[in-house]
């Protein structure tokens, strides 16, 4: 796991976008795993800026979202499909038919979960997975206690996650759906490269557990310690709980340019 402590959000955006740009240069039909929420937005903003500047062409890629709320009607402004189209795929010129999300409005949710796993596999798996992390340590919506071997399925959101996400529902935590369809931890572990972004002091405890804590379902993100290629992009506030911050800074400062993330 490589930890990069950045001075500004722009640096996070640039580093994350560099990973995608480098991938797409060699593989224009790359498969991107995409997170919603605030954390990846600097990366999406930078990708869209590069597309608009004519420096990057994302029209050949496919995207797979991590999760979707259960029960929101299609097109709801807070649905994750609507969000990813608004924040990334529409402005980046990725055709809607190659933008995939779990179908949270399906009548048969277990069947929708199985179908989603099949679609990811049929696309050849995820090349780069962008992730955020919840203040309670969830990745995608694998809340504390999630099986480290889990696949796409229905999960119940914690009260804390619903309160954290109330800002997307006019501040009303009770309006945040109680359930979601989410990729499992084992699904995420199959991505070939994971880029996790965390910013703000509210993430410091979860980040300290993720990077330096014991691997445990209590902090689901810790499963990534078993992944061979994870890049963790942090701001100073999110890095505040790390005991080895000095070492991570030194390793990054001395990393050869050609290596990339």
Looking at the annotation, which residues are catalytic?
67, 136, 138, 143
Nearer Cβ to ligand F6R (88/242): 88
Shortest spacing between CB 133 and ligand F6R, in angstroms? 6
User: What minimum distance in Å lies between the beta carbon of 236 and ligand F6R?
Assistant: 17
Which of 32, 36, 69, 94 touches ligand F6R (CB under 6 A)?
36
CB of 56 to ligand F6R, least distance (A): 23
Q: Is 225 in the site for ligand F6R (CB under 6 A)?
A: no
3-state secondary structure 218-242: CEHHHHHHHCCCEEEEEECCCCCCC
68 contacts ligand F6R (rule: CB under 6 A) = no
Check residue 66 for interaction with ligand F6R (CB under 6 A).
Answer: yes
Closest distance of CB 47 from ligand F6R, Å: 16
Residues contacting residue 167 through CB under 8 Å, at least 6 positions apart: none
- Give the angle subtended at the CA of 215 by the CAs of 211 and 218, to the nearest 5°: 100
Residues 6 or more apart in contact with residue 261 via CB below 8 angstroms: 2, 4, 15, 18, 19, 193, 195, 231
Contact 216, 222 (CB under 8 A): yes
Provide the 3-class DSSP secondary structure of residue 253: helix
Query: Is residue 39 a contact point for ligand F6R (CB under 6 A)?
Result: yes
Contacts of 226 (CB under 8 A, 6+ apart): 189, 215
State the number of binding residues for ligand F6R (CB under 6 A): 15
Question: Does the protein bind ligand F6R through residue 184 (CB under 6 A)?
Answer: no
User: For ligand F6R, which residue of 50, 100, 138, 153 counts as binding (CB under 6 A)?
Assistant: 138
Site stretch for ligand F6R (CB under 6 A), options 32-40, 71-79, 107-115, 187-195 = 32-40
Q: Which is nearer to ligand F6R, 29 or 82 (CB)?
A: 82
Regarding 35 and contact with ligand F6R (CB under 6 A), the answer is yes
- Selected binder of ligand F6R within 38, 178, 216, 225 (CB under 6 A): 38
Q: Pick the binder of ligand F6R from 9, 67, 127, 235 (CB under 6 A).
A: 67
Distance of closest approach, residue 45 Cβ to ligand F6R, in angstroms: 14
- Could you write out the DSSP letters of every residue in 14-82? HHHHHHHHHHHHH-TT-EEEE--SSTTHHHHHHHHHHHHTTS---TT-EEEESEEESSPPTT-TTSHHH
**CB nearer ligand F6R, residue 9 or residue 67:** 67
Separation of first and last alpha carbons in the chain: 10
Distance of alpha carbon 17 from the chain centroid: 13
Considering only 140, 211, 232, 239, the residue that binds ligand F6R (CB under 6 A) is 140
> Do 35 and 16 contact (CB within 8 A), yes or no?
no
Q: Which residues bind ligand F6R (CB under 6 A)?
A: 35-39, 66-67, 80, 132-134, 138-141
């Amino acid at each position: 796991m490589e930890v990069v402590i950045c001075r500004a959000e722009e640096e996070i955006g640039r580093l994350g976008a560099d990973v995608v740009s480098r991938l797409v240069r060699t593989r224009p039909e790359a498969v991107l795993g995409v997170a919603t929420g605030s954390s990846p937005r600097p990366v999406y903003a930078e990708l869209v800026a590069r597309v608009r500047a004519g420096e990057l062409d994302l029209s050949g890629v496919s995207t797979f979202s991590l999760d979707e709320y259960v029960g929101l009607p299609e097109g709801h402004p807070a649905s994750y499909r609507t969000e990813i189209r608004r924040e990334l795929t529409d402005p980046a010129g990725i055709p809607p038919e190659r933008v995939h999300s779990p179908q949270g409005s399906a009548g048969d949710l277990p069947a929708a979960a199985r179908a989603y796993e099949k679609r990811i596999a049929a696309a050849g798996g995820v090349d780069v997975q962008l992730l955020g992390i919840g203040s309670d340590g969830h990745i995608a919506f694998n809340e504390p206690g999630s099986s480290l071997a889990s696949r796409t399925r229905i999960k119940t959101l914690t009260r804390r996650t619903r309160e954290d996400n109330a800002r997307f529902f006019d501040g009303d935590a009770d309006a945040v759906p109680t359930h979601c369809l989410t990729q499992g931890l084992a699904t995420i572990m199959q991505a070939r490269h994971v880029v996790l972004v965390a910013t703000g002091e509210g993430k410091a405890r979860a980040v300290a557990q993720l990077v330096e804590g014991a691997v445990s379902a209590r902090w689901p993100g810790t499963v990534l310690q078993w992944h061979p290629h994870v890049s963790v992009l942090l701001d100073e506030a999110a890095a505040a709980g790390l005991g080895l911050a000095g070492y991570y800074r030194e390793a990054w400062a001395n990393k050869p340019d050609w290596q990339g993330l």
